[in-house]
Structure 1
């Protein structure tokens, strides 16, 4: 005989911190914007981002 299925589902909220779907999506979008901005800076200034920041 199979175990009975539960009739009520618990109301579990997503965590606000840590690895969850929303934070991973937001982090990926921020990384894509950062890479695009770095490429645009290199195209405009004809220098790498590190030298543009004065680190070399």
Structure 2
């Protein structure tokens, strides 16, 4: 029996990468709305 690959550029990995990227973007925008500062300002880069 052949096991599915779990590492590399697989559909499974790409789906999770996209989902986590969307989640991170939404959290970043929500944090900006709550604090009134941009992400770079929160990190002390601006």
Q: Same fold (TM over 0.5)?
A: yes
TM-score after normalising by structure 2: 0.84
CA RMSD of aligned residues (A): 1.1
| TM-score of the superposed pair, with normalisation by structure 1 | 0.72
Stretches of structure 2 lacking an aligned partner (at least 5 in a row):
none
Q: Counterpart of 2:34?
A: 44
Richer in helix (by share)? 2
- Return 5+ residue gaps in structure 1 as ranges: 1-10
In 2, Cα distance between the equivalents of 1:53 and 1:16?
A: 34
Query: How many residue pairs are counted as aligned between the two chains?
Result: 46
